[in-house]
Chains A and B, each alone.
Chain A
């Protein structure tokens, strides 16, 4: 009996220390969500302005032409950028993204296209490495706090590959899989086609302000040359930030339920331990009483 009590005590201690760790992780994630949300909000003015400028540019220059806007039906390879996290402990976050990536790759294959993977985040990288699958490039080390520089690196690489032909290892279109942050409780995996860009002319419903007829300094082509890559980078940056916020939210939730489960386990074990201890005491008492009775019986004779 005392052996059982000792064992339970040990188990409670171990669960308690796990709970401490998960609780700490939960609190770290909670504090980081706020920061990640602020980063998303801070990146919004730039994103809005660049979209507004591009829309104005496209709506006014009918003869607009840029390689990044072209469809490339002759290229049968499609790039898939998968944004995962660097660390685990975040529940189904990475599994959801990777499942969606697999589904998209299958859809592309069904359409007769060859998917080429570009991985962001260590978890995605190890997932592909473990299965011995090919990937074009991987970036790691910034999933929880992405900087614009990292988005720039990714954007440059994919835009470069888009401009190459199949034979040179290029791709014909670029999809991104990321996790959109709706709220602390809901995040959703999204698939977006990044290039060729889909910049639609703004629908004129007559209510919005008239778009200004821009002059270009030095020329429309120069402006477009600069703005399109910037636009792509800012889109990727936005997706990285959304994914980072989602990662923290997913981690917070996973760690919260881990902490809750640990506390429940501690309750159960504590009860079992008390029971075992009480049983041991009861047994000891009955042994003593039984022993005393036996002594009294034999001594009385």
Chain B
């Protein structure tokens, strides 16, 4: 079966790279599932969302929080470029909770800080 060559990169490092069956990313307009053979797309990521990668070797799904960035799909190669990117196991849940509380207490609804904190908790599998 065809697989996707996926690279999840932030400016400071390559966060994850490998073969995958399915990648789910969220744009400003909604979620986008990417399977092998997808048409070329260049999309803007929702700042503070979760990218899910299903590795081709059948191991556990990889979830990562992403900040501002974009993704490109071309010829079964998916690159996710995000200024902030954290894999689920790297996320400090307590720190994310604190950030969420701070964002909520600041008052403004649906801020980037709030979305990012929620995305971190979601990616880490903790309840917001």
Contact A223:B11 (CB < 8 A) given known A50-B81, A53-B79:
no
- Whether a CB of chain A sits under 8 angstroms from the CB of B52 is no
Contact flags B72-106 to A (C-beta < 8 A → 1, else 0): 10110001010100000000000000000000000
List 5 additional contacts besides A56-B42, A148-B12; criterion CB under 8 Å: A43-B13, A46-B14, A52-B79, A148-B10, A230-B68
In the bound assembly, the distance between CA atoms of A218 and B79 in angstroms comes to: 17
- Whether a CB of chain B sits under 8 angstroms from the CB of A49 is yes
Question: In this complex, what residue of B is CB-closest to A209?
Answer: B75
Pick from B40, B44, B83: contact of A213, CB below 8 A: B40
Q: Is the CB of A49 within 8 A of B75?
A: no
In the bound assembly, the distance between CA atoms of A226 and B70 in angstroms comes to: 8
* In the complex, number of A-B residue pairs with CB atoms less than 8 Å apart: 90
Please provide the chain B residues from 11 to 64 with a CB less than 8 Å away from any CB of chain A in the complex. Answer: 11-14, 17, 27-29, 32, 39-44
- A interface residues with partner B (beta carbon < 8 Å): 39, 42-43, 45-47, 49-50, 52-53, 56-57, 147-148, 151-152, 209, 212-218, 222-223, 226-227, 230, 233-234, 237
Contact A46:B41 (CB < 8 A) given known A39-B12, A217-B32, A234-B11:
no
Give the residues in chain B near A50, CB-CB below 8 Å.
81
In the bound assembly, the distance between CA atoms of A209 and B72 in angstroms comes to: 16
Give the residues in chain B near A222, CB-CB below 8 Å.
28, 44
Contact A214:B40 (CB < 8 A) given known A49-B72, A53-B72, A152-B83:
yes
Number of chain B residues close to chain A: CB under 8 A: 27
Q: Is the CB of B11 within 8 A of A215?
A: no
Interface of B is mostly: strand
- B interface residues with partner A (beta carbon < 8 Å): 7, 9-14, 17, 27-29, 32, 39-44, 68-70, 72, 74-75, 79, 81, 83
Query: Nearest Cβ distance between residue A222 and chain B, in whole angstroms?
Result: 5
Pick from B10, B44, B81: contact of A218, CB below 8 A: B44
29 A-B residue pairings within 8 Å (CB atoms): A42-B13, A43-B11, A45-B9, A45-B17, A49-B7, A52-B79, A53-B70, A56-B42, A56-B72, A148-B10, A148-B12, A148-B83, A209-B75, A212-B40, A213-B40, A215-B39, A216-B42, A216-B43, A217-B27, A217-B42, A217-B44, A218-B27, A218-B43, A222-B28, A222-B44, A230-B68, A230-B70, A233-B11, A234-B11
Question: In this complex, what residue of B is CB-closest to A225?
Answer: B44
In the bound assembly, the distance between CA atoms of A284 and B28 in angstroms comes to: 94
Contact A215:B42 (CB < 8 A) given known A49-B79, A230-B81:
yes
In the bound assembly, the distance between CA atoms of A67 and B77 in angstroms comes to: 30
Question: In this complex, what residue of A is CB-closest to B7?
Answer: A45
Query: Nearest Cβ distance between residue B11 and chain A, in whole angstroms?
Result: 4
Pick from B9, B42, B68: contact of A46, CB below 8 A: B9
Q: Is the CB of B11 within 8 A of A151?
A: yes
Give the residues in chain B near A39, CB-CB below 8 Å.
12
Query: Nearest Cβ distance between residue B5 and chain A, in whole angstroms?
Result: 12
In the bound assembly, the distance between CA atoms of A234 and B68 in angstroms comes to: 13
Query: Nearest Cβ distance between residue B83 and chain A, in whole angstroms?
Result: 7
Contact A214:B72 (CB < 8 A) given known A46-B11, A49-B9:
yes
